[in-house]
Amino acid sequence: MNKKVCIILQARCTSKRLPNKVLKKINGIPLVILCVKRLSNRGHKVIVATSNQKSDNKLVNLLKKNKIDYFRGELKNVLSRYQYIARSYNPEDIIIRATSDNPVPDGSLVNILLKEYLESVKEYMGIDHKLHNLPRGISLEFFSVRKILKLKKNITKNDEEHVTTGIYKNKRKYYKKKIKRLFYEKNLSHLSLSVDTYKDLIFVKKIFKKFKNPMQVNFNKLIENCNNLDFFK
């Protein structure tokens, strides 16, 4: 594969429901660092896209300490951060969108989805967690550099904040199917492995607590443990 792949992990400290959640620790590891290490555990490049506001200085200092690549841009225009990073790549290269409140996705999930994406003829692919019976938070989005850089006209504030809404407004044009390797027999779609609230944080901590090396444990094992801990929700 000649196409380069870059995972852009968006992160900020100004979450209203759980302030500084990206700095909260799971197994003693700050959430944003855990996300970076898991996404890169199969060798993929990860860049953290954060804001240039003082509110994210602690986050940036943490990234520097851990020698993690980052870019600082506009706080509310997250799309512009992606576009700035994308400009250093070729049009056919691949950007993967990840968020720092979803620590379960890892390099093995990236590889499964990357294969599906490359075999498709589309320029965008996302995961529908309900279609796969998966908990919310098993989420990554794939798109070409060309596609993200085309998002210039008719962009709303919602598009700027949520990055890819400008791509999939016409969903018929984009790739969405059930991926056999991701389908889970028991329906866990009512659960959340995304850290949006303190309650979510406690649940996700319990999911990871069983594993000594949270940076390397396969996403499937975490989902299986989620199934075992279903009674906590």
Which of 169-178, 197-206, 207-216 is the least confident region?
A: 169-178
CA 151 to chain centre: 20
Tokens coding 217:
């444990």
pLDDT tens digits, one per residue of 135-167: 989 989 998 999 888 887 666 676 666 676 667
Residue 228 is predicted with a pLDDT of 67
User: Region 112-130: what's the mean pLDDT?
Assistant: 86
Query: pTM, whole model, 2 decimals?
Result: 0.90
Residue 178 is predicted with a pLDDT of 73
CA dist., res. 24 & res. 31, Å (int): 6
| Cα separation values, 211 from 36, 206, 215, 219, Å | 17, 10, 9, 12
Residue % of the chain over a pLDDT of 70: 87
Task: Catalogue all structural domains in the chain, each as residue range(s) with its CATH number.
Answer: 5-227 (3.90.550.10)
Q: Is 93 exposed, middle or buried (0-12, 13-18, 19+ CB in 10 A)?
A: middle
pLDDT tens digits, one per residue of 28-46: 999 999 999 999 999 999 9
Tell me the backbone φ, ψ of residue 26, rounded to 5 degrees.
-125, 120
CA dist., res. 160 & res. 163, Å (int): 5
Average confidence score pLDDT of the chain: 87
Q: Residue 125 — very low, low, confident or very high, per pLDDT cuts 50/70/90?
A: confident
pLDDT tens digits, one per residue of 39-80: 999 999 999 999 999 999 999 999 999 999 999 998 888 888
